């Protein structure tokens, strides 16, 4: 880890978790690992915060939890997206895209050309 | 985005305990750490290094654990609650659908329960207002009424003399304070229009303080005012303030024209300041004043009594005395002390010979007389509710039977015992609460009706509203009933006999016998309770009938009554001049003259008090038998004009009546009533003897029949009638016998009096029959309500009998079919069903008769001229029930004979 990790921006974690679960049900460790692998450790996600986010989204009805067996045959708590969660992912993802595009338009020295 | 959505998944889980959640959270975190450590070890870290990294990545472990536990705990609880509500909604919806499907059952059950609950709430509201709600005074239980007693006459409820009151107050120490008052009729002349009569109290100092009345405006009397050393003012009641002054606070600066005097208004006393007063006055042996005066009387004006300045004798007893017991003083201690004081007074003054003191708690005086009747009504209406509940339970049982298949199916589909029982409880609760809502609506109507019918002498009735307490009780009862109902069919519905229920196709043959047993017991109970109620109301009604049959000794038909009070300022009544009160004599002559010339008048009389007023008593002697007379009770003294006896139809038994010639210059005469003749003249003829009181001997010239002027249910006490011209009175009652309807004359009488004296207040203008019937108001009220409840009970019980027989016939269709196929005649089938009904009825009736006999003691005090175990009433009620029940069994019996054996056999 040569590069310094980036602090996570407010609300970012939710969309990352939702996106991860869009692949299919997963347990907390799986979600954490997936995010870490995809970002190559660029984002610093505290696991405690991740679990709290899971609880929060559960209460909002975006995800559901169920006990199941892991790949190693251990009892694990699996989370999966609800229909409501899928909808939430779609809106949040598009919000993020528009946000990032807008920021790039300002940062890019030659307007009109996307990097 | 329904809120229910996130919880639904949780139905898959059994509920998690707090401990379970704790281990779940721990396990989830441990799993995470283990997996991460494993991964790091795979990448070449040492085990301890890997553990360190994993923990660092996780953050604060302990905090995370406790946060997650907390979140899960709350979530769990919230979803549990949500599921509970969800299930309740489901059950309620299901119950409503069920009720909608069987409208006949629903209407019957609702109506039955609502009637029971409504009647209960209405009656309880009245009982609450009259008996339970505390008096509007602080510590009303410390207030006692101080009566004087007279060992000679045997009276125990006499007002005191003013000097006695002053002595009581000075010598006693067990009272925090004692106060006295004298009821008075005053004539109030408003600036605009006619004079009206206002009931007033002349009060001693400390009156408002003793009772604990606070003025709502202004102040009460000062000691100087009540002693008569300061100018007089008056206090007015809230009702008068509202009626005459529109609650204008500037009334304090204004004056009131009362009895020719003009008095400044000093303060306003709240409604309820005259609490219990009418009851107090009406138990007095005499001096009841306006308590005999008619409907809706309340005290409107309080005047200072001025005990110091007004001369008062120990012979006259106008003063009602109320005391507040001192801190720590008991009623017994106060009674002991007052008896000692009375004995001292007896030694000191001859006028106090044979006089004692009797203390009675004020609340006892006020509610004592009505308590038995009200509690009886409350008991009766509670029985009605019981019967209603039994009936509804019966309906539910029958319905439960019809539903046993449905229950079995639901049980087979996995509904747990708890779930099913809960469904039944919810169903019953829905029914009970709906009935309670309807019942409360009924109670509002019923209470209106009660207030309309209630006798005016029921204390504090004006305060009665559907009380919160009554509402609470209703809710409690209906919920209790609901749960009770829920348990029975719920028990029935236990799916342990699931297969047989499914197989038997819904009639639940296996259990129907037990169920029928339960239903039969309920019907027997209902019939028993109905008998109890019918006998109670039968006895009370028979008493009322007996009372109506009583000859009061006078005739009320076609007699109009009008009362008046002559104000002292214009009609001087100095004791020294009596009986030569020329203004009053002149007024009497003119009044009789004018009244006689009214159209449709047969005869006219003036009496000191009307024939249903107790009037007053005095001690007396028979001239020549003075020694003997000393031990005699006082005698009632009534002043009447010559035509009194013909006007109210009192017969002359011996001698002659007072006549026109019996004036102030003639020999003083009187007539006595039969009771006096029998009591005092057993061995000598009364005619020609002389009776002396007030210093004048009067010759007995005649004996007349007894008038029951103490009330129809009381024998007439000994009385003398003086010729009005020889013994004028400052107040009177004009009595007119008419040829047509007496009410038609009322308006003319008012305007006639106004012509003679425009400022004179006339009151109590009504047919004498009205006065008589009102004096029976409380009994009529009790009898009417009891009758109503009994009728309700009878109807419900009969519906119950009918229902259970009908159900039984339906259940036994197959059996009846077989019997008929085997050659049983229609007659024998009818007999079988009727016999089954009769067994229930006879059992119920017998239980009711025994119960009524056992409870007869409670009723005794409310009856008149009827024994509490009157055989005619007992037999009549039993006969009535058997007859009506026979009719109720007839329909199911006929239905049984219509069973077609072939159809009956084929259906199963």
pLDDT at residue B12 in the model:
44
Smallest Cα distance from B46 to chain A, Å: 18
Nearest 5°: the CA angle B45, B51, B56 is 110
Q: Are strands B719-723 and B635-640 parallel, antiparallel or unpaired?
A: parallel
Q: How many Å apart are CA B221 and CA B357, to the nearest integer?
A: 28
Helices B331-348 and B162-171, axial angle in degrees (round to 10): 120
Q: How many Å apart are CA B241 and CA B251, to the nearest integer?
A: 8
Which residues sit opposite A79 in a β-bridge?
A26, A65
The beta-carbon neighbor of A84 closest among B5, B57, B71 is B5
- Strands (DSSP E) contained in B705-801 are 719-723, 731-738, 762-767
A75–chain B Cβ distance below 8 A for any pair: yes
Q: What is the largest CA-CA distance in chain B?
A: 144
Tokens of B176: 């925090």
The beta-carbon neighbor of B64 closest among A32, A48, A82 is A48
**Which residues of chain B make contact with A72, given a CB cutoff of 8 A?**
35
Contact B31 A84 (CB under 8 A): no
**Which residues of chain A make contact with B39, given a CB cutoff of 8 A?**
33
Contact A49 B59 (CB under 8 A): yes
Helices B777-811 and B371-402, axial angle in degrees (round to 10): 10
B68–chain A Cβ distance below 8 A for any pair: yes
Residue B747's SS3 state is helix
Residue B883 · residue B838 · CB < 8 Å = no
Contact B1 A55 (CB under 8 A): no
- Which of B714, B762, B758, B717 minimizes the C-alpha distance to B606? B762
**Which residues contact residue B128 at a Cβ distance below 8 angstroms, ignoring those fewer than 6 apart?**
B464, B467, B469, B470
B480–chain A Cβ distance below 8 A for any pair: no
Helices B417-453 and B468-492, axial angle in degrees (round to 10): 140
Which residues sit opposite B621 in a β-bridge?
B692
A33–chain B Cβ distance below 8 A for any pair: yes
What kind and span of H or E run contains B304? strand B301-304
Half-sphere exposure of B12 (CA within 13 A, CB side): 7
pLDDT at residue B512 in the model:
57
- Give the dihedral sign, CA B237/B238/B243/B244: positive
Residue B838 · residue B885 · CB < 8 Å = yes
Q: Nearest-CA residue of chain A relative to B36?
A: A29
B12–chain A Cβ distance below 8 A for any pair: yes
User: Rg of chain A over CA atoms, in angstroms?
Assistant: 16
Tokens of B681: 């003249």
Q: Nearest-CA residue of chain B relative to A72?
A: B35
Q: Nearest-CA residue of chain B relative to A81?
A: B6
What kind and span of H or E run contains B83? helix B61-101
B69–chain A Cβ distance below 8 A for any pair: no
Tokens of B112: 């039955």
Which residues sit opposite B605 in a β-bridge?
B735
Q: How many Å apart are CA B778 and CA B130, to the nearest integer?
A: 14
The beta-carbon neighbor of B6 closest among A49, A59, A77 is A59
Nearest 5°: the CA angle B734, B736, B742 is 120
What is the distance, to the nearest Å, from the Cα of residue B468 to the centroid of all Cα atoms in its chain? 17
**Which residues contact residue B97 at a Cβ distance below 8 angstroms, ignoring those fewer than 6 apart?**
none
Smallest Cα distance from A12 to chain B, Å: 18
Q: How many Å apart are CA B723 and CA B660, to the nearest integer?
A: 9
The beta-carbon neighbor of A59 closest among B24, B64, B75 is B75
Residue B200 · residue B171 · CB < 8 Å = no
- Work out the end-to-end distance of chain A between its first and last CA atoms, rounded to an integer number of angstroms: 26
Which residues sit opposite B635 in a β-bridge?
B618
Q: What is the DSSP letter of B275?
A: T
B70–chain A Cβ distance below 8 A for any pair: no
Residue B247 · residue B239 · CB < 8 Å = no
Contact B68 A84 (CB under 8 A): no
pLDDT band, very low/low/confident/very high, at A1 (cuts 50, 70, 90)? very low
Nearest 5°: the CA angle B538, B364, B633 is 90
Q: Within a 10 A sphere around the Cβ of A73, how many other Cβ atoms?
A: 7
pLDDT at residue B491 in the model:
59
Q: What is the DSSP letter of B161?
A: P
pLDDT at residue B5 in the model:
37
pLDDT tens sequence across A60-95: 889 998 888 888 888 899 999 999 999 999 998 998
Name the phi and psi angles at A81, rounded to 5.
-75, 140
**HEC sequence for B344-409:** HHHHHCHHHCCEEEEEEEHHHHHHCCCHHHHHHHHHHHHHHHHHHHHHHHHHHHHHHHHCHHHHHH
**Which residues of chain B make contact with A66, given a CB cutoff of 8 A?**
9, 12
Share of chain A above pLDDT 90, in %: 36
Q: How many Å apart are CA B84 and CA B119, to the nearest integer?
A: 35
pLDDT at residue B888 in the model:
82
Contact B24 A77 (CB under 8 A): yes
- Give the dihedral sign, CA B834/B835/B837/B841: positive
Which residues sit opposite B73 in a β-bridge?
none
Exposed / middle / buried, residue A63 (Cβ in 10 Å: 0-12, 13-18, 19+) = buried
Contact A48 B60 (CB under 8 A): yes
Residue A56's SS3 state is helix
Tokens of B124: 């309880």
Contact B57 A28 (CB under 8 A): no
Contact B1 A84 (CB under 8 A): yes
Residue B528's SS3 state is helix
Q: How many Å apart are CA B268 and CA B237, to the nearest integer?
A: 6
Smallest Cα distance from B73 to chain A, Å: 11
Which residues sit opposite B698 in a β-bridge?
B691
Tokens of B140: 């009303």
Which residues sit opposite A6 in a β-bridge?
A43
Half-sphere exposure of A55 (CA within 13 A, CB side): 20
**Residue in the block written with tokens 């209470």:** B447
Residue B1's SS3 state is coil
Residue B670's SS3 state is strand
**Which residues contact residue B270 at a Cβ distance below 8 angstroms, ignoring those fewer than 6 apart?**
B136, B213, B214, B215, B216, B238
Residue B167 · residue B741 · CB < 8 Å = no
Report CA-CA distances (Å) from B354 to B146, B218, B371, B625: 16, 44, 32, 19
- ipTM computed for the complex: 0.88
Q: How many Å apart are CA B288 and CA B857, to the nearest integer?
A: 32
Residue B359 · residue B144 · CB < 8 Å = yes
Residue B318 · residue B166 · CB < 8 Å = no
Interface probe for B, chosen from A1, A37, A44, A61 (most Cβ of B below 10 Å), is: A61
Q: Nearest-CA residue of chain A relative to B73?
A: A55
Q: Nearest-CA residue of chain A relative to B67?
A: A52
Report CA-CA distances (Å) from B292 to A103, B413, B879: 98, 74, 42
Which residues sit opposite B554 in a β-bridge?
none
Q: How many Å apart are CA B648 and CA B641, to the nearest integer?
A: 12
- Which of B369, B537, B358, B562 minimizes the C-alpha distance to B455? B369
- Which of B782, B719, B892, B255 minimizes the C-alpha distance to B537? B782
**Residue in the block written with tokens 């006990």:** A67
- Which of B73, B92, B78 minimizes the C-alpha distance to B22? B73
Q: Which parts of chain B have pLDDT scores under 70? A: 1-14, 228-230, 287-288, 290-296, 307-311, 401-402, 404, 415-417, 456-464, 481-482, 485-516, 904-908
Tokens of B432: 């009970």
Q: Within a 10 A sphere around the Cβ of B695, how many other Cβ atoms?
A: 5
Residue A71's SS3 state is coil
């Amino acid at each position: 880890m040569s590069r310094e990790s980036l602090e996570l921006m407010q609300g970012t974690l939710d969309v990352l978790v939702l996106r991860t679960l869009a692949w299919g049900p997963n347990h907390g460790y799986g979600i954490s690992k997936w995010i870490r692998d995809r970002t190559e450790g660029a984002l610093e996600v505290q696991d405690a915060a991740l679990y709290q986010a899971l609880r929060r989204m559960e209460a909002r009805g975006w995800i559901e939890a169920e006990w199941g067996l892991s790949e190693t045959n251990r009892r694990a708590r699996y989370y999966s997206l609800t229909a409501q969660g899928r909808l939430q992912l779609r809106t949040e993802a598009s919000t993020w895209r528009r946000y990032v595009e807008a920021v790039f338009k300002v940062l890019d020295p030659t307007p009109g050309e996307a990097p | 985005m329904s809120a229910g959505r996130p919880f639904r998944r949780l139905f898959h889980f059994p509920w998690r305990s707090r401990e379970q959640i704790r281990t779940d959270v721990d396990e989830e975190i441990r799993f995470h750490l283990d997996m991460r450590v494993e991964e790091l070890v795979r990448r070449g870290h040492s085990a301890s290094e890997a553990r360190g990294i994993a923990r660092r990545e996780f953050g604060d472990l302990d905090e995370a654990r406790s946060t997650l536990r907390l979140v899960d705990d709350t979530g769990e609880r919230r979803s549990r609650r949500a599921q509970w509500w969800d299930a309740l909604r489901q059950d309620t919806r299901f119950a409503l659908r069920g009720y909608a499907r069987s409208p006949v059952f629903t209407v019957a059950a609702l109506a039955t329960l609502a009637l029971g609950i409504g009647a209960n709430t209405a009656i309880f509201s009245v009982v609450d207002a009259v008996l339970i709600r505390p008096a509007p005074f602080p510590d009303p239980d410390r207030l006692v009424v101080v009566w004087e007693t007279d060992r000679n006459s045997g009276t125990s409820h006499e007002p005191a003399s003013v000097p006695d009151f002053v002595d009581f107050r000075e010598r006693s120490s067990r009272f925090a304070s004692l106060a006295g008052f004298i009821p008075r009729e005053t004539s109030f002349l408003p600036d605009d229009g006619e004079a009206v009569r206002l009931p007033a109290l002349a009060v001693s100092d400390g009156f408002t303080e003793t009772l604990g009345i606070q003025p709502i405006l202004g102040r009460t009397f000062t000691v100087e005012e009540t002693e008569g050393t300061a100018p007089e003012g008056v206090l007015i009641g809230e009702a008068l303030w509202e009626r005459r002054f529109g609650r204008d606070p500037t009334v304090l600066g204004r004056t009131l024209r009362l009895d020719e005097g003009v008095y400044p208004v000093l303060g306003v006393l709240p409604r309820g300041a005259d609490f219990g007063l009418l009851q107090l006055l009406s138990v007095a042996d005499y001096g009841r004043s306006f308590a005999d005066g008619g409907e809706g009387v309340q005290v409107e004006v309080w005047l200072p009594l001025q005990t110091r300045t007004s001369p008062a004798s120990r012979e006259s007893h106008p003063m009602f005395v109320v005391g507040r017991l001192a801190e720590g003083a008991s009623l017994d201690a106060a009674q002991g002390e007052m008896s000692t004081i009375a004995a001292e007074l007896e030694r000191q003054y001859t006028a106090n010979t044979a006089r004692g003191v009797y203390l009675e708690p004020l609340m006892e005086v006020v509610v004592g007389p009505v308590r038995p009747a009200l509690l009886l009504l409350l008991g009766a209406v509670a029985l009605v509710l019981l019967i209603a509940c039994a009936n509804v339970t019966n309906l539910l049982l029958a319905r439960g039977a019809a539903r046993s298949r449905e229950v079995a199916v639901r049980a087979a589909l996995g509904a747990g015992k708890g779930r099913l029982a809960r469904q039944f409880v919810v169903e019953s609760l829905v029914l009970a609460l709906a009935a309670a809502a309807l019942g409360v609506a009924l109670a509002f109507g019923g209470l209106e009706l009660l207030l309309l019918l209630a006798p005016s002498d029921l204390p504090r009735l004006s305060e009665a509203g559907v009380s919160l307490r009554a509402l609470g009780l209703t809710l409690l009862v209906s919920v209790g009933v609901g749960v009770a109902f829920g348990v029975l069919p719920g028990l029935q519905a236990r799916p342990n006999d699931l297969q047989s229920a499914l197989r038997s196709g819904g009639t639940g043959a296996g259990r129907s016998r037990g169920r029928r047993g339960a239903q039969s017991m309920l019907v027997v109970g209902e019939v028993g309770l109905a008998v109890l109620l019918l006998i109670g109301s039968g006895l009370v009604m028979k008493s009322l009938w007996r009372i109506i049959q009583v000859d009061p000794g006078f005739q009320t038909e076609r007699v109009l009554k009008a009362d008046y009070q002559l104000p002292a300022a214009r009609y001087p009544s100095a004791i020294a001049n009596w009986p030569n009160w020329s203004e009053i004599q002149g007024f009497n002559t003119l009044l009789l003259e004018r009244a006689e010339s009214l159209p449709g008048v047969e005869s006219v009389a003036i009496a000191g008090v009307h024939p249903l007023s107790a009037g007053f008593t005095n001690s007396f002697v028979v001239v020549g038998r003075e020694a003997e007379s000393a031990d005699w009770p006082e005698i009632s003294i009534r002043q009447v004009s010559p035509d009194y006896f013909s006007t109210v139809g009192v017969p002359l038994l011996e001698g002659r009546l007072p006549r026109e010639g019996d004036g102030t210059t003639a020999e003083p005469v009187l007539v006595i009533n039969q009771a006096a003749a029998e009591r005092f003249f057993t061995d000598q003829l009364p005619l020609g003897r002389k009776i002396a009181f007030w210093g004048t001997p009067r010759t007995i010239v005649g004996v007349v029949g007894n008038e029951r002027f103490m009330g129809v249910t009381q024998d007439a006490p000994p009385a003398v009638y003086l010729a009005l011209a020889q013994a004028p009175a400052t107040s009177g009652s004009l009595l007119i016998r008419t040829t047509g309807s007496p009410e038609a004359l009322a308006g003319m009488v008012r305007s006639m009096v106004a012509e003679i004296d425009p400022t004179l207040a006339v009151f109590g203008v009504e047919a004498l029959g009205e006065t008589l019937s009102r004096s029976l108001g409380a009994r009529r009220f009790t009898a009417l309500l009891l009758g109503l409840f009994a009728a309700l009970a009878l109807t419900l019980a009969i519906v119950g009998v009918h229902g259970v027989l009908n159900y039984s016939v339906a259940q036994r269709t197959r059996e009846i079919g077989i019997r008929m196929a085997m050659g049983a005649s229609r007659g024998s089938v009818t007999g079988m069903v009727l016999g089954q009904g009769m067994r229930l009825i006879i059992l119920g009736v017998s239980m009711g008769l025994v119960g009524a006999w056992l409870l007869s003691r409670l009723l005794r005090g409310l009856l008149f001229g009827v024994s509490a175990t009157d055989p005619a009433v007992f037999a009549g009620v039993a006969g009535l029930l058997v007859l009506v029940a026979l009719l109720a069994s007839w329909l199911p019996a006929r239905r049984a004979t219509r069973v077609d054996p072939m159809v009956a056999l084929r259906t199963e």
